[in-house]
């Protein structure tokens, strides 16, 4: 039931699926989500290899661009030592989860939250479940969500799907997400592109956030 060891693979960087939605990412409407980039969830990857070798710097660049453009930056982070009934059905599939230690709970230092960012306690696959993410976005006039992090075919996909169902436009950054493998990653991007959101790469996301204009 534990997380699998994840073999190295190259994150998608070309030939992204064509998105059914024709939405444009707009900085004055968007918020950024850094999804579950905690040590526990990153541990199954080779820390020095792909996909994290590309994904972590890509997320870091998007975070910097988002902050510079004035976007709200949200993080999800589970807490360790969860009460079994509160963990619910996730325990049946994934076991007890992480321990209440920095070695498990800490967000990767390269992506660490800064003052003004919002860290949400994660309870279920979707970042919207049992959190106030939707309320915080609406209060700030945001109806677009950039989704980065792990795992693409689980929490990132579930978050994008729920965003769509809440009339929030999701933008999945394919090479700023990682997954159990290339096949699962590609399937997640295909599903999002076909059913609920826009799939883009880091270069496109940074251009939409005006990184080049500020430089």
- At 19 the three-state DSSP class reads coil
b/e burial code for range 136-168 (CB count within 10 A of at least 16 → b): ebeeeebbbbbbbbbbbbbbbbbbbbbbbeeeb
Is residue 51 reached through a cis peptide bond, with omega within 30 degrees of 0 on the bond before it? yes
Distance CA 123, CA 133 (A): 12
Q: Are 10 and 182 in contact (CB under 8 A)?
A: yes
Q: Which of 10, 24, 36, 117 is catalytic?
A: 36
Q: Among 178, 153, 195, which residue's Cα sits nearest to residue 59?
A: 178
Query: What φ, ψ does residue 60 adopt, rounded to 5°?
Result: -60, -40
CA quadruple 142, 144, 146, 151: dihedral sign: positive
3-state secondary structure of 126: coil
Query: Is 36 noted as a catalytic residue in this protein?
Result: yes
Contact between 172 and 199 (Cβ < 8 Å): yes
| Proportion of the chain in helix, strand, coil states, percent, rounded to 5 | 40, 15, 45
Which residues form the catalytic set? 36
């Amino acid at each position: 039931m534990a997380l699998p060891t994840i073999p190295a693979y190259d994150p998608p960087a070309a030939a992204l699926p064509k998105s059914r939605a024709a939405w444009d990412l707009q900085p004055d409407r968007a918020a950024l989500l850094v999804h579950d980039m905690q040590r526990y969830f990153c541990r199954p990857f080779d820390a020095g290899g792909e996909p994290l070798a590309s994904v972590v710097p890509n997320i870091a660049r998007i975070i910097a661009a988002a902050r510079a453009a004035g976007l709200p930056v949200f993080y999800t982070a589970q807490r360790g030592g969860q009460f079994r009934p509160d963990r619910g059905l996730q325990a049946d599939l994934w076991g007890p989860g992480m321990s209440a230690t920095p070695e498990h709970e800490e967000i990767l230092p390269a992506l660490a939250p800064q003052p003004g960012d919002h860290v949400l306690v994660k309870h279920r696959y979707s970042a919207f479940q049992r959190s106030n993410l939707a309320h915080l976005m609406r209060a700030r006039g945001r109806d677009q969500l950039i989704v980065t992090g792990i795992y693409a075919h689980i929490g990132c996909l579930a978050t994008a799907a729920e965003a769509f169902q809440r009339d929030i436009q999701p933008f999945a950054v394919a090479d700023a997400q990682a997954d159990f493998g290339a096949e699962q990653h590609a399937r997640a991007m295909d599903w999002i592109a076909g059913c609920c959101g826009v799939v883009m790469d880091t270069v496109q996301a940074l251009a939409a956030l005006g990184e080049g204009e500020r430089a």
